[in-house]
Amino acid sequence: MTIIRPILYTDNQAIAAVIRSVLLEHNVPKVGTAYADVSLDSMFETYNVPRSSYFVVEHNGKIIGGAGVSQLANEAETICELQKMYFLPEARGLGLGSQMMEKCLQAAISFKYEKCYLETMPYMEDAQKLYKKFGFQYIDTPMGCTGHTSCPVWMLKDL
């Protein structure tokens, strides 16, 4: 059975391993990307704050993906960021990305955000197709202060 649910403290190690595995699979730089985020090993604590949520995909007791939303640092209170959306190969092509997007965007709307921002890598084409399907559009410059200086693709969506 596969479910999407809010992250628990006991998921921290598993979701950090998922994210690092996917980043290594795609040869993403370890500096200037989510790989170097100090929050990676404490995702539950990071998202256990007002106007933030992180969800994991659990399949038969194993964490196989996740994504979340939170206030975009150094930006207007009305703008959130879709963060750390990664899925292991076994989770891809099953419609879980669309389900996760719906869950994250509903959370963002419930938190009264008006726009959702994201950053990605140019070669993550399947992810970009999903983002465009949900109404994200490319923008010319980065927003906020994510610390992800190695991510050159920026997208924004009106909620």
Q: What is the DSSP string of the chain?
A: -EEEEE--GGGHHHHHHHHHHHHHHTT--SSSSGGG-GGGG-HHHHHSSTT-EEEEEEETTEEEEEEEEEEPTTS-TTEEEEEEEEE-GGGTTSSHHHHHHHHHHHHHHHTT-SEEEEEE-TT-HHHHHHHHHTT-EEESS--S--S-TT--EEEEEE-
Domains of the chain, with CATH numbers? 2-158 (3.40.630.30)
pLDDT, one tens digit for every residue, the chain (159 residues):
999 999 999 999 999 999 999 988 988 777 676 767 778 999 999 999 999 999 999 999 999 999 999 999 999 999 999 999 999 999 999 999 999 999 999 999 999 999 999 999 898 899 999 999 999 999 999 999 887 777 899 999 999
pLDDT of residue 31: 67
pTM of the predicted model as reported, rounded to 2 decimal places: 0.94
